Amino acid sequence: MASARGEFLGHPRGLFVLFFTEMWERFNFYGMRALLMLYMVNYFLWTQQDASRIYKWYTSLVYLTPLLGGYLADRFLGNKWAIVIGALLMAGGQFCMTSSNIQVFYFALGLLIIGNGFFKPNMSTQVGRLYAAGDPRRDGAYTIFYMGINLGAFLAPLVCSALAKGTRWGYHAGFAAAGVGMLLGLATYLLVLPWIKELPPGTQYEGDEKKDKKKGGKGGGAGYMSEEEAGRAPSVMPRLSRAAPVLLVALGCLAVLTGVVLWVLAPASRDNAVALGVGGGFAAFMAAYICSRIRMAMRDRVLAIFAVAVFVVCFWGAFEQAGNAMNVFADKDTNCYVTQTPPTPSVFPPADEEREKGTVFQELARGFTEIFQINPMTAPSFQAINPFAIFVLAPLFAWLWTTLPRRGINLSIPAKMASGVFMNGLAFALMIWAIQVESQPSQTALAALPPGVRLDADQRVVFRDAPSLDDAQGFADFSSVPADLKKLAVVTGGRLKYDATQQRLTMTGVLSDADRDRLLRATVPDAYLEAARRFAKASDEAKQAAGGKGQGLAVTAALPDVPPGFDMRYAGFAPSKVRYDEQNHALAATVALADRDYKMLLLAGVNPQFRAALNVLYVESARFKVGVWWLFAFYVLCTLGELCLSPVGLSMVSKLAPAKFATMLMGMWLLTSFFGNFLAGLAGESWGAVHPTNYFLVIAAVLFGASALCFLVTRKVVSMMHGVN
């Protein structure tokens, strides 16, 4: 209940303002996360590698910019103004995502990245500043705050994916909903801003706990010392402590130098070189700066944060597969029908004018109805399992963390984090089993592989992707492929194979529509490839001539060399937009065609025999999609790991960080997610190019190894914390 001191349920009222503000901001973020990868793969028709590269940078940079946002807030803006600026930028970014223009798409990602940098660290820091040093309610406050994060994370995939599926606007409706969520969060924050009353730095708690401070008050445990005492107490590792600033500078220089070398010697990995050189160097230099401004045991505490952060990077690198490879797995390899047998999949894409269009309110009603549909579930809705499991399991963990010490089992912060990394490893070990269930063979007859695809030494079907709309030449003949394009692609980890002797095409596991279409576009004849490119370019020129209006155009292009088996049904266009005039052998369009439209148009002119064979495998292999319960179990195991690690980490940083570097160190802690997300995206680039069993096996092995190492160094890290639990 509210009190005269401005409290509600025993906490400052400002905590609940921050709770709802953060809830809506996380709705914004996780709505974007739920849709982004599938938007690039299914809407823009990008390859997994290209989409994952964009996803990698977006999800990484939203955790790098908090360093700058935290610095600006600490030195110039203050927490409140930084939060307002960040919220406005993120809302603008989401609304820009409602445009299908690729340049606007990149601009929107930039707004979201910068806005998150202003918002994220300042919100977490404000929670801590509502409480005096030593206040035992602080841990409970972060738990409540964490529930706000997960409430937003739970609602976002359900609502945004339902609107994307159920409305005529598709993915753009989901992005718009995320933007509205951010505006609601900002309105909540501004309307009751006076309730957020930050305490001056150094304010000490005046309750009963303070009397027991030297006995382990503040929830810090035996031997806890205040920040002032830690600045005078000796280090437990004096040599390392004294050398830390110099070592960190050297580490930063090494990261920059390595990045430069990679940039020069490995042009294909230049984005990775930038991440290592800029991200790694920046993190090391910032860490050196902070360590140079503190001394003694206080420096130990900061170094303990950095030590634990190494293992947290491994955790997030695996956990953040949820929005990347696991999101694609849910969409392409999972039977999303929970209580019904799925229908036979159609080999034709849905035409864009098949269903009746309603008013805005009718469309929204259809969209929100999809939230309650379980047959089928939307692929992004699986991401709601994690926050839902947190609601269910968090009370159990809260009970464990208070009950175990009474029974002589006192898990330290590093031990809890090592347990979290281990549980995440179990989740990926489970997926190895799931892949064994999915890996069933389907086969069909095929007289010969068509031009554009061939076999490698392992009898795997390999190909080179059809050029994009902006590429001037197709290079369909393998002998004419330039040196930098000679790396040929595989799909489903090379599990599509051809036996020339038996004239049989075999697929082990599920062949997705995206992989099927990628293969088919590689077989388009050069003449049709060029005709489709000219046609799409002509439509864009007509749009520019009409003042940027992409509707109501009249564009035609002759098609003298009609490919065998030409069939516009596979392009998925409504006849009122794009059609083929059989009498005049010409293509006609009334809209401007973007790169995705050009790629769909190519599907009308692929090799017909190969198309028939792949359609058989596409339909037959769909029977082997794994059930939803595999993903339920996967996300529950990941949640167990997260509960051991994430809320503990936020509270740890708030306790160990010096007051004058509180926001900067919160930004440094979020930097673990920068590197984790980058590693997740880097791994995601190989999804489909490597066997899925190997993909999950490598991730599980890294997690188990990191967990074992974390357990080994636990005792030393605990001593560096100087009494903080």
CATH number at residue 22: 1.20.1250.20
The tens digit of pLDDT for each residue in 92-106 reads 999 999 988 899 999
What was the pLDDT predicted at 641?
94
The tens digit of pLDDT for each residue in 537-553 reads 999 899 888 887 777 88
Contact predicate 259/276, CB 8 Å:
yes
Say how far apart CA 718 and CA 621 lie, in whole Å: 52
Question: Is the residue at 616 inside a domain?
Answer: no
The tens digit of pLDDT for each residue in 217-246 reads 444 555 566 666 766 778 788 888 888 889
Question: Is the residue at 715 inside a domain?
Answer: no
Contact predicate 363/167, CB 8 Å:
yes
Of 173, 195, 217, the domain-final residue: 195
In single-letter form, the type of residue at position 156 comes to: A
What was the pLDDT predicted at 635?
97
What was the pLDDT predicted at 192?
83
What was the pLDDT predicted at 213?
44
Q: Which two tokens stand for residue 520?
A: 């088919």
Number of domains into which the chain is organized: 2
Question: Is the residue at 109 inside a domain?
Answer: yes
Closest among 315, 344, 230, 297 to 620, alpha carbons compared? 344
Q: Which two tokens stand for residue 76?
A: 């110039």
What was the pLDDT predicted at 442?
96
Query: What averages of pLDDT result for each successive group of 10 residues across the chain (725 residues)?
Result: 57 84 92 95 94 94 82 81 92 93 94 90 76 71 80 94 91 94 92 78 58 44 63 79 90 92 83 86 89 86 90 94 95 94 90 69 86 90 94 84 79 90 97 95 96 90 89 52 63 94 96 96 92 91 84 86 92 90 90 93 96 97 95 96 84 80 77 90 93 96 96 90 75
Say how far apart CA 482 and CA 479 lie, in whole Å: 9
Say how far apart CA 141 and CA 131 lie, in whole Å: 9
Question: Is the residue at 47 inside a domain?
Answer: yes
What would the 3-class secondary structure string for 108-170 be? Answer: HHHHHHHHHHHHHHHHHHHHHHCCCECCCCHHHHHHHHHHHHHHHHHHHHHHHHHHHHHCCCC
The tens digit of pLDDT for each residue in 240-276 reads 888 888 999 999 999 999 999 988 888 778 888 888 8
Question: Is the residue at 63 inside a domain?
Answer: yes
Of 143, 165, 195, the domain-final residue: 195
Question: Is the residue at 299 inside a domain?
Answer: no
Question: Is the residue at 567 inside a domain?
Answer: yes
Contact predicate 285/249, CB 8 Å:
yes
- Burial grade of 392 (CB within 10 A; 0-12, 13-18, 19 or more): exposed
- Coil vs helix vs strand at 444: strand
Say how far apart CA 628 and CA 374 lie, in whole Å: 11
Closest among 654, 538, 599 to 138, alpha carbons compared? 654
Structural domain for 555, as ranges: 526-605
Question: Is the residue at 37 inside a domain?
Answer: yes
- Angstrom CA distances, 569 to 43, 348, 556, stand at 18, 7, 19
Of 605, 622, 651, the domain-final residue: 605
What was the pLDDT predicted at 5?
56
Q: For 589, phi and psi rounded to 5 degrees?
A: -135, 145
